[in-house]
């Protein structure tokens, strides 16, 4: 993996997005250094999911720029596709392909995008299923797995594409409390491996333990950005304070 | 005039002799209608001017009788120098006509797939065409096996329309016997019963397929 460490993994400049007349993202600026873990939190409707969906082209935006490594999204179709391929995404609702086995979920993109031979793709997929600790489920279908297992498959599926950056959009919000930990453990493991991660999550324990920076959003703007220790001890913005109060009690 | 069972039985070999033609027309039309219908639905979804045209085309197809299509293709196209045989005209006519209906079925089948499926595939970097083939189409088929089977049975039952073009399928054969013997009840009953048997077979096969498709993959 060639990584230019001097370039930030993600550089967001003056990003603005509207849904019709509704201004969802307002002048968002954010720099995410390579190898760092950012947690984005905030009340629902604050634009945090929209923001990370802008980072891999799932949402269009009207103003501003998003640069991933050296590639500015939208400048050049081929480079944008490349940047997207190097960005893994994990969704709240897992979005596994229900008609494919766990193994095929992981190999589909490998077989189609870099046209990897089946054997090679399968051994790579098994390696990552091992990493998320469910190698024994490879031949099952998603509906036969628990939510936590499905989300771990989704993480393995994204890792198969060798991403430089992983985006997590509320990965544990649809899970039973008992399954949250198994997914967070896998994410923590990834963080220790040095993966650049941006996580939209309300898991404040995870944020405290793993994040380098916590970003707090409200009404489409970033209102506070701080290290977890500073953010949890003394949140500056009143909206962040009340948010933390409701979350921690 | 009483129903003559012995005479009815004597017509069976002649009418059954045309079952191959009926099945050929039905099979080709099912495949043709599915392929064209899927293509139409993809163009409709892509929007733009093409999508608008296809939307109009599908409504137009569904608002006209199938016989009009067959007559137009057979009698009017030759004026423009396009001369197709009766069999080809029949199969093209049924394919075009039912493609309009199947496009609607495909639309429902695709609409029922959560957006997250295509999003997850896009996030993995999979191309548009591959998403359609490997992610959307298989899930669409699972969603629509039953209504699609209904249209396949409809296509089978529409093959007798080709009698107007003198394609030697089963009902045409039955009418030939009737006009030679002036006995209608027996050959038409025999043809009807064979159609009934075929329709039941197809429905059964579709049901089996549906169970297999859903299997362990049900959401």
pLDDT in tens, A171-206: 999 999 889 999 999 999 999 999 999 999 989 999
Residue-wise pLDDT tens digits, B146-190: 899 999 999 999 999 998 888 888 999 999 999 999 999 999 999
Neighbours of A86 (CB within 10 A): 19
The CA angle A208-A211-A214, to the nearest 5 degrees, is 85
- Residues B119, A95: C-beta atoms closer than 8 Å: yes
Task: Give the chain B residue whose CA is nearest to the CA of A96.
Answer: B117
The Cα A149–Cα A94 span in angstroms is 10
- What is the spatial distance between Cα B215 and Cα B213, in angstroms, rounded to a whole number? 6
Best of A95, A125, A164 to substitute, by most chain B Cβ atoms within 10 angstroms, is A95
Q: Domains (ranges, CATH) in chain B? A: 5-214 (1.10.3720.10)
Number of helical (H) and strand (E) elements in chain B, helices listed first: 10, 0
Residue A205 has a CB neighbour count (10 Å cut-off) of 11
Locate the chain A residue with the closest alpha carbon to B114: A95
Chain B contact for A85, CB < 8 A? Answer: yes
Which residues contact residue A239 at a Cβ distance below 8 angstroms, ignoring those fewer than 6 apart?
A43, A216, A218, A223
**Which B-chain residues 144-173 have CB contacts (< 8 A) with chain A?**
none
Q: Which of B129, B116, B150 minimizes the C-alpha distance to B30?
A: B150
- Determine whether A11 is exposed, middle or buried from the number of CB atoms within 10 Å of its CB (0-12, 13-18, 19+): middle
pLDDT of residue A17: 96
In chain A, the percentage of residues whose pLDDT exceeds 70 is 97
The answer to whether residues A92 and A150 touch, using CB atoms and an 8 Å cutoff, is: no
Is B120 in contact with A95 (Cβ distance < 8 A)?
Answer: yes
- Taking the C-alpha atoms of residue B109 and residue B141, their distance in angstroms, rounded to an integer, is 7
Q: Is A95 on the interface with B (CB under 8 A)?
A: yes
Please report where in the chains the tokens 């992610």 appear, as a residue: B135
Q: At what angle do helices B137-158 and B185-214 cross, to 10 degrees?
A: 170
Element (H, E) at A217: strand A213-218
DSSP state of A61: -
Please state the pTM of the whole predicted model. 0.86
Interface contact B219, partner A, CB < 8 A? yes
How many whole angstroms separate alpha carbon A82 and alpha carbon A219?
A: 31
Whether residue A141 lies within 8 A of chain B, CB to CB, comes out as yes
Cβ separation of B216 and A144 shorter than 8 Å?
yes
Instruction: Tell me how far apart the 2 most distant CA atoms of chain B are, in Å.
Output: 72
pLDDT truncated to tens, each residue of chain B (219 aa)?
A: 688 999 999 999 999 999 999 999 999 999 999 999 999 999 999 989 999 999 999 999 999 999 999 999 999 888 998 888 899 999 999 999 999 999 999 999 999 999 999 999 999 999 999 999 999 999 999 999 889 999 999 999 999 999 888 888 899 999 999 999 999 999 999 999 999 999 999 989 988 888 887 766 554
CB pairs A-B closer than 8 Å: 71
Over residues A109-115, the mean pLDDT reads 90
Q: Which pLDDT band, with edges at 50, 70 and 90, does A7 fall under?
A: confident
Taking CB atoms and an 8 Å cutoff, what residues of chain B touch A113? Answer: 124-127
Q: Give the pLDDT confidence score for residue B219 in this predicted structure.
A: 47
Give how far B116 is from chain A: nearest CA, Å.
6
- Buried b vs exposed e over A19-42: b needs ≥16 C-beta within 10 Å? eeeebbbbebebebbbebbbbbbb
Please check whether residue A219 is in contact with residue A58, taking contact to mean a CB–CB distance below 8 angstroms. no
Mean pLDDT of A114-120: 92
Query: Residue A167 in contact with residue A56, Cβ under 8 Å?
Result: yes
**Residue closest to B89 by CA, chosen among B76, B103, B80, B101:** B76
Q: What is the mean pLDDT of residues A120-138?
A: 94
The answer to whether residue A4 scores a pLDDT higher than 80 is no
- In three-state secondary structure terms, A29 is strand
Q: Could you give the ipTM of this predicted complex? A: 0.90
Contact at CB, B126 and A91, closer than 8 angstroms = no
């Amino acid at each position: 993996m060639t990584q230019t460490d001097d370039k930030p993994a993600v550089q967001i400049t003056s990003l603005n997005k509207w849904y019709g007349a509704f201004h969802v993202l307002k002048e968002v600026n954010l720099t995410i250094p390579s190898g760092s873990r950012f947690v984005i939190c905030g009340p629902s409707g604050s634009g945090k999911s929209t923001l990370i969906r802008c980072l891999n082209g799932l949402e269009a935006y009207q103003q501003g720029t998003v640069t991933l490594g050296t590639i500015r999204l939208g400048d050049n179709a081929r480079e944008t596709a490349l940047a997207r391929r190097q960005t893994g995404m994990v969704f709240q609702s897992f979005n596994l392909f229900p008609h494919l086995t766990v193994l095929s979920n992981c190999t589909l993109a490998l077989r189609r995008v870099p046209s990897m031979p089946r054997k090679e793709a399968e051994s790579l997929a098994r390696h990552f299923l091992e990493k998320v600790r469910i190698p024994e489920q490879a031949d099952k279908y998603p509906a036969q797995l628990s939510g936590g297992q499905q989300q771990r498959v989704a993480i393995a599926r994204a890792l198969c594409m060798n991403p430089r950056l992983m985006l997590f959009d509320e990965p544990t919000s649809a899970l039973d409390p008992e399954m949250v930990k198994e997914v967070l453990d896998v994410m923590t493991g990834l963080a220790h491996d040095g993966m650049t991660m941006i996580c939209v999550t309300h898991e404040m324990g995870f944020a405290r333990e793993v994040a380098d920076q916590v970003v707090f959003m409200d009404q489409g703007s970033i209102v506070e950005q701080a290290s977890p220790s500073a953010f949890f001890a003394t949140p500056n913005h009143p909206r962040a304070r009340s948010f933390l109060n409701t979350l921690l009690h | 005039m009483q129903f003559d069972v012995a005479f009815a039985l004597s017509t069976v070999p002649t009418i059954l002799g045309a079952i191959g033609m009926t099945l050929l027309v039905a099979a080709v039309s099912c495949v043709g209608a599915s392929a064209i219908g899927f293509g139409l639905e993809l163009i409709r979804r892509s929007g733009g001017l093409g999508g608008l045209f296809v939307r109009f085309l599908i409504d137009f197809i569904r608002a006209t009788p199938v016989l009009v299509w067959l007559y137009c293709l057979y009698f009017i196209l030759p004026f423009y120098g396009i001369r197709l045989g009766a069999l080809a005209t029949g199969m093209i006519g049924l394919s075009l006509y039912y493609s309009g209906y199947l496009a609607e079925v495909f639309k429902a089948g695709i609409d029922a797939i959560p957006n997250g499926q295509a999003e997850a595939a896009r996030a993995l970097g999979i191309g548009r065409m591959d998403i359609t083939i490997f992610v959307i189409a298989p899930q669409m088929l699972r969603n629509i096996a039953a209504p699609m089977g209904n249209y396949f049975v409809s296509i089978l039952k529409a093959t007798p329309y080709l009698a107007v073009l003198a394609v030697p399928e089963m009902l045409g054969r039955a009418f030939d016997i009737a006009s030679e013997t002036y006995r209608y009840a027996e050959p038409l009953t025999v043809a009807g019963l064979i159609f009934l048997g075929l329709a039941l077979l197809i429905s059964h096969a579709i049901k089996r397929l549906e169970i297999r498709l859903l299997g362990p993959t049900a959401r």
